[in-house]
Structure 1
């Protein structure tokens, strides 16, 4: 295939996905409400302009000006009609294994291709550089292995990692998939780094956000009203078992239902995992999912409504939210 491109303005989040969070006309005139975390500024922009960076996926110093842009386009082309159908049918119950593989690949690549991920790699390599210098490595030795800050070697390392997603895709395929739904008056956010991770299991200093770890929950907003969650199988097993227990109590010991917290919710969540139909999210759950978009985003958060009070509140409470997540190297 041709791996060169004349496209200079390259999206780090595909237009077809951003479109689902916009308003107004279709095409280049479709708009997004945008919140800039660094400046706390709100503004409108076109979907065509959002999350673009010039020649971001072009391989540095390549003699034939090769680029990942055409390859990324393949993943987008395979996932886009599936995501469109999920939105139209309001269900993931119809997805085949091949369909899931295409979407899992798209999610894995999307997680690795963002500008925030590039900056995180720069941060980690920079921290390692400092550690190596502290134990006596020379600048020349370090740059030979890791490249210098802002170098083509580091950029090309980032591009190489984007395509190395086989292991991540396998982990995503092993997850339990469920669809979350919200109402039109309380829409989901999306950001410039839309794949978010959350884990309630405390694993101490080692961290708990690995895609293979027990308890992990991975989210990708698909539209203003739908978010796809890929969760640890232990979560779906607990939900389905909870549903069965509630049904058993209804049949043989209904007074004991008073001891359960939200038995109807247990049934609905179990049904959502088993059927593929969405489970309605409370206002608090929508707020939580949107807070993940704010915290994971590098700079920009998008919505179909000009309602970014949550982002302003989070930044007001903690200035660290003005940028994306950074790994601590000790």
Structure 2
């Protein structure tokens, strides 16, 4: 039976990084025409291209099986459209103030979609299947026919099924995080990887790993322009900062009191400690206070470098920017060739 032809109105070129994101890391050469700089991790090539021509594959979100064509592209387009206006307001205003519950829900769903789709997730699927198959062959024999990996279409089907079956669950994981807005300081720009939802975790959990949407301590980042990045943090992080700030408040009150009523060496020590305690209190309050106010939290050069390193690490192939500055990608790859590809699951 012949598979039905695709709807002629349905786009066949599917972007796995939406243009609504890429245009904010690009230069508008002509009205509505955006050019972005890209770094190819596989071969170190830097090139300029229109955003229509990168992070895109034919029928990436469509599948034909048993004479039936199924495409998720239209549904994904609706999710992108719903998030486009709230994201535009955030970038233009540089603040989360005014965000409604509907805005937050649309952005969370958009970020969950970006987490679940893309070449990075499919590469992880394939690597996991290959790892399981290698383990199985080691047990039952190298000549055993297992076919766990499957072909490219099978991997695509599994990846699309993940989106269909788990997107709402993933969205809930984003929704239960504290949402912050980070702003790169003047002279610094965020990079955009082709797998832009990047994660890190300072906590360690031994062989169980520390990366996952629901893992305690997780930090999730998705840049939305060269100046701004969304940050989804496990609520325990801000809670710890607020506890630390409360202790600093107590120390500050004690030091101020001793600077007034203390005598001799005690008073001198309190006066000397005041600037350090005040600076510590300010550092600990900066992010929690910014979160409560909905204000953008300044990301200094070190913070921007750290977030950009995550974009390089999680990108499967392409890293993009407005100005072509990819020194961090080159350094990371020179230090460790594993950075030429994206994240891979570990089977310990």
Q: What are the within-5 Å matches in structure 2 for residues 1-330 of structure 1?
A: 6-25=10-29, 29-61=33-65, 63-136=67-140, 142-143=146-147, 146=148, 148-150=150-152, 152-163=153-164, 164-254=166-256, 255=270, 256-257=273-274, 258=276, 262-330=280-348
Cα deviation, 1:63-92, whole Å, max 9, x if unaligned, reads 342211111101101111111111122111
Kept after mapping to 2: 8 A contact 1:196/1:293: yes
Kept after mapping to 2: 8 A contact 1:175/1:230: yes
Task: Label 1:299 to 1:102 Cα distance change in 2 as closer, same or farther (>3 A).
Answer: same
Query: More deviation in 121-130 or 257-266?
Result: 257-266
Quote the offset at 1:135 in angstroms.
Answer: 3.3
Matches of 1:300 and 1:226, distance apart in 2: 20
Quote the offset at 1:265 in angstroms.
Answer: 2.1
* Unmatched segments (≥5 aa) in structure 1: none
What is the count of residue pairs matched by the alignment? 325
TM-score, length basis structure 2: 0.86
Report the 3-state secondary structure (helix = DSSP H, G, I; strand = E; otherwise coil) of the residue aligned with 1:66: strand
Quote the offset at 1:170 in angstroms.
Answer: 1.4
Kept after mapping to 1: 8 A contact 2:248/2:277: no
Larger gyration radius, structure 1 or structure 2: 2
Matches of 2:235 and 2:101, distance apart in 1: 17
* Unmatched segments (≥5 aa) in structure 2: 1-5, 257-269
Matches of 2:40 and 2:317, distance apart in 1: 6
Report the 3-state secondary structure (helix = DSSP H, G, I; strand = E; otherwise coil) of the residue aligned with 2:95: coil
Quote the offset at 1:282 in angstroms.
Answer: 1.4
Kept after mapping to 2: 8 A contact 1:214/1:234: yes
Matches of 1:65 and 1:137, distance apart in 2: 38
Matches of 2:66 and 2:88, distance apart in 1: 36
Matches of 2:168 and 2:286, distance apart in 1: 33
Over the aligned positions, Cα root-mean-square deviation in angstroms equals: 2.3
TM-score, length basis structure 1: 0.91
Quote the offset at 1:273 in angstroms.
Answer: 1.5
